[in-house]
Structure 1
Amino acid sequence: MKGAVLDDLGLHMAEADNVLTAIADLEAGMEISSDDATVELAEDVPFGHKVALVPIEPGDTVVKYGEPIGEAVEPIDPGEWVHTHNCESARGRGDRDASEGEVA
């Protein structure tokens, strides 16, 4: 399998990823450790959703599977749920140039 499972709680697919994918329903206060740091969950995160591993500022690219998947629209702290309330998808957007991520 590509990637690494961290503490049997999340999947970190590529070294470039700044998020991990929850492989179970996660509860606020749980801790997930990687080689670099330990992240405490700030809120509940549903199975299959993303958790920030590092601070992500508005305009920063959210990277999952080693690929850009969106852009932060507000500050996201490590351990926070990354979803539509704080991240805007860059995939399947007809209003953006796919090669540059720019608004068309």
Structure 2
Amino acid sequence: TGASFVFILTYLHILRGLNYSFTYLPLSWISGLILFLIFIVTAFMGYVLPWGQMSFWGATVITNLLYFIPGLINWVCGGFIINDPTIKRFFILHFIFPF
């Protein structure tokens, strides 16, 4: 699909940068890493949404990995289980992150 192709191009771009400019431009790599993490979070939020491919159980398991940061799970998920408020938050965050 188109989303998979975007990730393939992103990984190829990262590999090209590793080959040519990793040691010369550390600030560019740090900012690129931050953008890549936002890219991954945005994709995950869209993947968890109801019309995505992930089940509620899979979304619950993966979002429960956020428990290691106190208070973050209540802000992101609104509780310990994936339900309607969580899906609404993910929907909003999925469209806010790219901007």
Q: TM class by shorter-chain length? A: under 0.3
Structure whose residues are more often helix by fraction: 2
TM value normalised by structure 1 = 0.24
Q: Going by fraction, where is strand more abundant, 1 or 2? A: 1
